[in-house]
Amino acid sequence: MKQSELFSKTNKSTPKDEESVNAQLLIRGGYIDKLLAGIYSYLPLGFRTCKKIEEIIREEINAVGGQEIFMPSMHPKENWEKTDRWNNLDVLVKIGLGEEKNMALAPTHEEVVAPLAKKIIESYKDLPKAVYHFQNKFRGEKRAKSGILRLREFIMKDLYSFHSSQDDLDKYYDQVANAYKNIFERVGIGEKTYFTYASGGTFSKYSHEFQAETEAGEDTIYICEKCHIAINKEIIEDLKYACPQCGNVNLRETKAVEVGNIFKLGTKYSAPFNLAYKDRNGEDRPIIMGCYGIGPQRLMGTIVEIFHDEKGIIWPEAVAPFKVYLIGFGKNAIVAEELYQKLMSEKIEVLFDDREVSAGEKFADADLLGLPYRVIISEKSIAAGGLELKKRNETESRIISFDELLGMLK
């Protein structure tokens, strides 16, 4: 992609109506654009990063047997009345085709997936099953905040699993927890992300969430460094002040963002929809459910919060919108163009800064956008025998050949 053709522009000044680092850098870099509080457009750079994150999630969920589907965002009122959430979920956004508000914009999808499963799952032979989708979720948050960390409209990957027994759910739950660990590892925040004990279990005592440590987080957690797990402050009274796994009382308090949650729903949503299966004796038994969510956009914002410096974003390679930021200096416009074409033909994701702007501006934007590899071709680099390479997370540059570069990127 050529910078001059990108559907976005960088901005030198910080937007006055954003205080959070993720929003400031993502907006300045042209990754996102704010429409309303908590509602953003994703421009090519931001969209590509989201897609990278989604693909990693997709691979890991597929690996634990999740089947991808797609469910609607406009839901009938009746379904939400059945679960008693039409009047009790204050973030529910109600709409209607006419005067009457007889539909909901989905904040989550239990009310659709449960009746859907009822049409498909009839026998113990049909179990277990797990389906997931990526879909826009709408929540009328009273206070959207922290850039893209707390949104009103956002994409969520929601996985729903269906089981014949609590034991089967427990096993699958652990598998998904492991898949989540892989996901956070792969997007680059594994070290900073803690499996966390939290409140809200309807079937079990606790639910679990994955919390990524950053000052920008709105949750307070207590970390056990030995076990690399944490306890959410909200349940510290129940668990006392100790690691539930090793009993360690030497915990570290910190701020964190909830980047994922896994939840044993039990029969909370199968019951209102009479979601049941026939066991071997032909008797009806309730289906046991689990649900598991990750918001790719919140994850993207969290990554920016964790990986940035005063000049801009520092993307982990796996989620960067492009791998290489290519700059040509001096009278090397044609040579740079050739290099760009060569990299493209090698299927390297490269953003070529072909704009007729000063060197300083190109450097500043390279730092702001935060692509992992900055490659410069210039008289200086050619005289030194090749290309100048600087990684975004390093301070020193070095001269390498085209083949060496290719070796690093492939």
Among 16, 280, 347, 410, binds RNA (CB under 7 A): 16
Among 267, 329, 406, 408, binds RNA (CB under 7 A): 329
Find the binding residues for RNA in span 42-81 (CB under 7 A). none
8 Å CB contact between 266 and 203? yes
For residue 60, the surrounding DSSP H or E stretch is: helix 44-63
Strands 350-353 and 324-328, by their bridges, are parallel
For residue 207, the surrounding DSSP H or E stretch is: strand 207-213
Q: Which is nearer to RNA, 211 or 243 (CB)?
A: 211
8 Å CB contact between 158 and 289? no
What is the torsion angle, in degrees rounded to the nearest 10, for the CA atoms of residue 81, residue 82, residue 85 and residue 86?
-10
The region of 222-230, 235-243, 246-254, 356-364 touching RNA under the rule CB under 7 A is: 356-364
What DSSP string describes 354-397?
A: --S--HHHHHHHHHHHT-SEEEEESHHHHHTTSEEEEETT-S-E
Q: In angstroms, what is the minimal distance from the CB of 318 to RNA? A: 24
Site string for RNA, 231-270 (x = CB under 7 A): ------------------------------x-x-------
Q: In angstroms, what is the minimal distance from the CB of 389 to RNA? A: 10
**How many whole angstroms separate alpha carbon 157 and alpha carbon 299?**
11
Site string for RNA, 18-37 (x = CB under 7 A): xxx-------------x-xx
Q: In angstroms, what is the minimal distance from the CB of 205 to RNA? A: 16
Q: Binding residues for RNA, how many (CB under 7 A)?
A: 60
Q: Which is nearer to RNA, 272 or 293 (CB)?
A: 293
87 binds RNA (CB under 7 A): no
Among 1, 89, 177, 236, binds RNA (CB under 7 A): 89
Find the binding residues for RNA in span 369-408 (CB under 7 A). 376, 378-381, 388, 390, 397
What DSSP string describes 93-147?
A: EEE-SSSS--EEE-S-SHHHHHHHHHHH--BGGG--EEEEEEEEEE---SS-BTT
Proportion of the chain in helix, strand, coil states, percent, rounded to 5: 30, 30, 40
The region of 125-133, 144-152, 241-249, 334-342 touching RNA under the rule CB under 7 A is: 144-152
**How many whole angstroms separate alpha carbon 403 and alpha carbon 346?**
11
90 binds RNA (CB under 7 A): yes
360 binds RNA (CB under 7 A): yes
Burial of 104 (0-12, 13-18, 19+ CB in 10 A): buried
CA atoms within 13 A on the CB side of 346: 18
For residue 324, the surrounding DSSP H or E stretch is: strand 324-328
Q: In angstroms, what is the minimal distance from the CB of 164 to RNA? A: 22
Residues that bind RNA (CB under 7 A): 9-20, 34, 36-39, 89-91, 107-108, 139, 141-147, 156, 200, 218, 261, 263, 291, 293, 311, 329-330, 356-361, 363-368, 376, 378-381, 388, 390, 397
